[in-house]
Structure 1
Amino acid sequence: MAQGHRVDTDAPGIDLGGWRRLVDGLREAVVVLDPDDTIALVNHAATELYPTLAPGLPLTAPGRRQALGDGWTACYLDDPATWDTAFLDEALRRLSAATDRAATLTAIVELGLAHLADQCAVIVPALRGRVEWWYGAKGAGEVVRGRTTRQSAGVVTGLLDVLDGVVRHAEFGRESTPDLPVDFGEPGSAHAVPLIIGGTSLGALVLVRRVPREPFTDVEVESIRRYGDHAARALEAAIRHGEQARVVEVLRADLLPSPLPEVPGALLAAAYHPAARRTEVGGDFYDVHVRQDGTATFVLGDVCGNGLEAAVHSGRVRRSLHTLLLVEQRPAQLLYLLNAALVAAGSKLFTTLVVGTIVQLDDGGLRLTVSSGGHPPPILLHAGGTVEEVVARGGIVGVLSDVRFQSTSVVVKPGETLLMYTDGITEARAESDREELFGEDRLQAVLRECTGLRAEAAVDTVRRAVFDWLGPSEHDDITLLAIQAAPTG
């Protein structure tokens, strides 16, 4: 705009009549401010966007300023809908990407600093009558967190009403507490809104604009309210996600294999690779239970399918076996009892498994008594490099009531190894040809190469051979359990 001519004695240095005719003809919202920063003119477009603006009042709307001369200023006002939509779109993108509580609270503060205020804090309830705050200020670096009592936060009049969701908005100023990092500044420079979901307040969002910047405009206060709604939804989702993650972690810990114990005269090793890599649990399982006399019971099994449903069922089988071991240790009888218990419980999934006992012999070897419930037979690696299957026939477990199980015993000499595995090993498909399986012959060939290796090295050799065969391809649950009679000398 070019400077006009003086025609109004009440407006030195500017022709208000000429400027009125000019700005009224513009589609863009424009106000003219006098040297005291008071509104002198408001065009029709500005009135439609901001009905409360009027000559003689201070400007309470954001916009781009241009000097007219002699201290007069034209201000091209921002369309509140356009500004608000762009900011909230960014807020939605940023907050939706934060899935845990800490990241969400940090993002809420950082977005508030970037678009709305010089200071931003989120105050949320904590345990034992305390509140937790997350705070950031422009130029202060990272968002920080701390805790204080509700009583200390209550020093700021009305803050607890916002925190509890009693009011939907509060304005502060000239109030502070040493237990909160927020400098509430001049009256009108601080605003707070509750973070409410379904009538429940999750906390309070506090935004502060430092002097000498202008107070929040009505449009900005409305934006704060809308941003608080988005922040509340994001925080509620993060809290819910965190609770679910904790539940899953507790359940997952119960479904993961227990650490292998020490068994007199034996070396144990295992590998466990579920198909569901994200949850790290599957339908395969193994356990070794040691008794006070030094003998032990071992089990390796495979529930039909994979993923969470199979993992839950495998946990049920493991707990059932653990309970049954209190009254029965003979492998075949254990399988009879387990099958009866699962059938009576209405089991929908079948399980194959190998159950056996370990007894140390006087010469340092081990006597293993083994029963199978429809599972691939274990492979015994002899000291000379030959291998043999240890066959004990039996039906699958958990579906039919009329099944039979047999037991067989084998002596494992010092340095010899019994390897048990699930069908994820033999049915692993080659990376180069998805129709070709790893197979039992290839497994036995790899096991022969483990002659003289300790149990842990033998398991690792087999595991690496299978994953080299698979490449990056998807696979079924893969589990190995090796029992070796401790080498002498």
Structure 2
Amino acid sequence: MTVEEAPTGELPEAVFDPARLAAVADSGLLDTEPEGTFDDLAQLALAITGAQMAYFTVVDGRRSFWKSAIGVDPAAGHESDIRDSPCHILIGTGQELIAPDATTDLRIKDLAAVDALGIGAMAGYPVVSPDGHVLGGLCVIDKDARPFTPQQSEALRILARSVSSEIALRQALREAQAAGDASAALARTLQESLLPPRLPKAPGLDVAAVHLPADATGAIGAEVVGDFYDLFQTRGKRWSAVMGDVCGKGIDAVKVTSLARYTVRAEANQHKNPATVLHRLHEALVDQHVSERFLTAAIAVFEPDADGITGLYASAGHPPALVRRVDGTVEELNADGILLSPLIPADRDDFDETAFHLRPGDALLLYSDGITDARDKNRGPLFGGDRLARALAATHGADAADTLDRLWQEASAHSGGHAVDDTAMMILRVAPSCNRPTFESAEDSAEAVPATTKSCLGR
């Protein structure tokens, strides 16, 4: 059914406003792949409310396109008839729609979506274009009737504004590029400033890291993303390795990334436990509130010993680190911890720690979800954690740089060269026992130069 054929009497006139439809087209979001930025915001909506489903839709004159759908059965497809979707109500009123009991709410109880999705309760918030037109909505759904607290409602309003801000930023950057200015070059320079220009030489370790940009349809060349990593020495022989992923792109992502990177460096010098460092970072996000963006992060704090390195690992909602043993076995390092958000009060019990020990030939991989979320343009299966683990096992015996190169080749082959999200990876490999350096000084330094290095044939 075309827009002209749609039954205008059954829908608000605002749905067919030419200016609104032009704003929907200008958003560049219709019929595009899922993206980590919007999926992360939907995930946070679920974490805040405890609901089972969350989605962000873009609505034209005939359909509601699900740009992000978390917890929704894939069999439901990627769009629905606009008449079946509560989002046309958001467009008509420009106001949020809160229905504690969808089956008795006169506004939505007869909509096909209530039965199709099993909606018991819902909360929907308008997502708007830079000029104020309602493009669609950010909605959460619970299978049971239930109220939404004032705190949850306010958090959802903020998340809907974050979606609107992300759309506005992308359009502004596209316009800047079209104008032929230096936005892309400036963005690249700023991105580089958020990552270490080179990793330091950690005693006894072979280390490598990589950051790879997304190439999703509609992606902006002149945008700064929030993936970051760092490796640095703290007190004595102790070292810290950090991997983080800030939701979204642009200036807000820069603010959070900068705060995270330098807060972690400062706190890691004061506290030897990674869980404490994550707690202090969470407090900084809440106290300074530089942005409403959230992030996930993982920290490994370690020091060399007589047989490799020993350390503690902590995570804030981040994908689990992987350990590749010298025999090719791969293990997960799991540590429970909530994601870091200024919308969630910090609690000292929010983060657990896991001890680990790496012997000569073992390696620790930290990564962002860009690699596990890799899939082709037809929305095929994700590369996923299991494929990543198998690919890592297959790199048995490879050095750090070669390992990362082979992991990316595997993910790229799976996705047909398509990267829907940015990817960061860092690997720390303990040098094989016949290739471990000894140092002239008892004080190991990031700049120490090996006095002797034995050859390790056959590796």
Q: TM-score, normalised by structure 1?
A: 0.47
The reply to whether residue 381 of structure 1 matches residue 324 of structure 2 is: yes
Check whether the contact 1:306–1:477 (CA below 8 A) recurs between aligned residues: no
- 2:363 aligned to 417, 427, 432, which one? 417
User: CA 1:309/1:471 → structure 2, altered by over 3 Å: closer, same or farther?
Assistant: farther
- Cα separation, 2, equivalents of 1:306 and 1:360: 36
Show the 5 A alignment for 1:63-142.
Answer: none
Check whether the contact 2:231–2:239 (CA below 8 A) recurs between aligned residues: yes
Corresponding residue of 2:415: 470
User: CA 1:472/1:387 → structure 2, altered by over 3 Å: closer, same or farther?
Assistant: closer
**Counterpart of 2:364 in structure 1: which amino acid?**
L
Show the 5 A alignment for 1:287-436.
Answer: 287-291=230-234, 293-346=236-289, 347-363=291-307, 365-399=308-342, 400-403=344-347, 404-431=350-377, 433-436=378-381
Check whether the contact 2:223–2:249 (CA below 8 A) recurs between aligned residues: no
- Cα separation, 1, equivalents of 2:421 and 2:185: 26
- Cα separation, 2, equivalents of 1:242 and 1:376: 37
- Cα separation, 2, equivalents of 1:314 and 1:380: 26
The reply to whether residue 457 of structure 1 matches residue 402 of structure 2 is: yes
- Cα separation, 2, equivalents of 1:252 and 1:445: 31
- Cα separation, 1, equivalents of 2:224 and 2:432: 33
- Cα separation, 1, equivalents of 2:186 and 2:368: 29
User: CA 1:437/1:247 → structure 2, altered by over 3 Å: closer, same or farther?
Assistant: closer
Check whether the contact 1:263–1:295 (CA below 8 A) recurs between aligned residues: no
Check whether the contact 1:254–1:315 (CA below 8 A) recurs between aligned residues: no
User: CA 1:443/1:307 → structure 2, altered by over 3 Å: closer, same or farther?
Assistant: farther
Corresponding residue of 1:123: none
User: CA 1:385/1:263 → structure 2, altered by over 3 Å: closer, same or farther?
Assistant: same
Q: CA deviation at 1:367?
A: 0.9
Q: CA deviation at 1:307?
A: 4.6
User: CA 1:248/1:304 → structure 2, altered by over 3 Å: closer, same or farther?
Assistant: closer
- Cα separation, 1, equivalents of 2:251 and 2:325: 38
**Counterpart of 1:383 in structure 2: which amino acid?**
V
Q: CA deviation at 1:461?
A: 0.8
Corresponding residue of 1:142: none
Q: Number of aligned residue pairs: give it.
A: 250
User: CA 1:253/1:452 → structure 2, altered by over 3 Å: closer, same or farther?
Assistant: closer
User: CA 1:436/1:264 → structure 2, altered by over 3 Å: closer, same or farther?
Assistant: same
Q: CA deviation at 1:249?
A: 5.9
User: CA 1:479/1:454 → structure 2, altered by over 3 Å: closer, same or farther?
Assistant: same
Show the 5 A alignment for 1:169-318.
Answer: 248=187, 251-275=190-214, 278-279=221-222, 281-291=224-234, 293-318=236-261
The CA RMSD measured in Å over matched residues stands at 2.6
Q: CA deviation at 1:350?
A: 1.1
- Cα separation, 2, equivalents of 1:341 and 1:381: 34
Higher mean C-alpha displacement, 253-262 vs 453-462:
253-262
- Cα separation, 2, equivalents of 1:241 and 1:430: 31
Check whether the contact 2:311–2:355 (CA below 8 A) recurs between aligned residues: yes
Q: CA deviation at 1:250?
A: 5.2
- Cα separation, 1, equivalents of 2:374 and 2:306: 40
Check whether the contact 1:371–1:406 (CA below 8 A) recurs between aligned residues: yes
- Cα separation, 1, equivalents of 2:331 and 2:186: 44
**Counterpart of 1:269 in structure 2: which amino acid?**
A
Check whether the contact 1:274–1:284 (CA below 8 A) recurs between aligned residues: no
Q: CA deviation at 1:322?
A: 2.2
- Equivalent residue of 2:433, what SS? coil
- Cα separation, 2, equivalents of 1:298 and 1:256: 13
- Cα separation, 2, equivalents of 1:295 and 1:448: 28
Query: For 1:90-144, what per-residue CA distance to the aligned partner results, in whole angstroms no more than 9, with x for missing partners?
Result: xxxxxxxxxxxxxxxxxxxxxxxxxxxxxxxxxxxxxxxxxxxxxxxxxxxxxxx
Q: CA deviation at 1:251?
A: 3.2
User: CA 1:366/1:351 → structure 2, altered by over 3 Å: closer, same or farther?
Assistant: same
Runs of 4+ in 1 over 6 A off after TM superposition: 240-246
Structure number with larger C-alpha Rg: 1
Check whether the contact 2:336–2:351 (CA below 8 A) recurs between aligned residues: yes
- Equivalent residue of 1:419, what SS? strand
Query: For 1:238-296, what per-residue CA distance to the aligned partner results, in whole angstroms no more than 9, with x for missing partners?
Result: xx977867865653442234311111111111121122673474111000112363321
- Cα separation, 1, equivalents of 2:210 and 2:246: 17
* Structure 2 segments unaligned to the other structure (5+ residues): 1-175, 435-459
Q: CA deviation at 1:412?
A: 0.6
User: CA 1:438/1:401 → structure 2, altered by over 3 Å: closer, same or farther?
Assistant: same
Q: CA deviation at 1:329?
A: 3.4
- Cα separation, 1, equivalents of 2:304 and 2:309: 5
Query: For 1:15-52, what per-residue CA distance to the aligned partner results, in whole angstroms no more than 9, with x for missing partners?
Result: xxxxxxxxxxxxxxxxxxxxxxxxxxxxxxxxxxxxxx
- Cα separation, 2, equivalents of 1:310 and 1:247: 15
**Counterpart of 2:288 in structure 1: which amino acid?**
A
Corresponding residue of 1:484: 429
- Cα separation, 2, equivalents of 1:373 and 1:278: 29
Check whether the contact 1:381–1:417 (CA below 8 A) recurs between aligned residues: yes
* Structure 1 segments unaligned to the other structure (5+ residues): 1-236
**Counterpart of 2:298 in structure 1: which amino acid?**
V
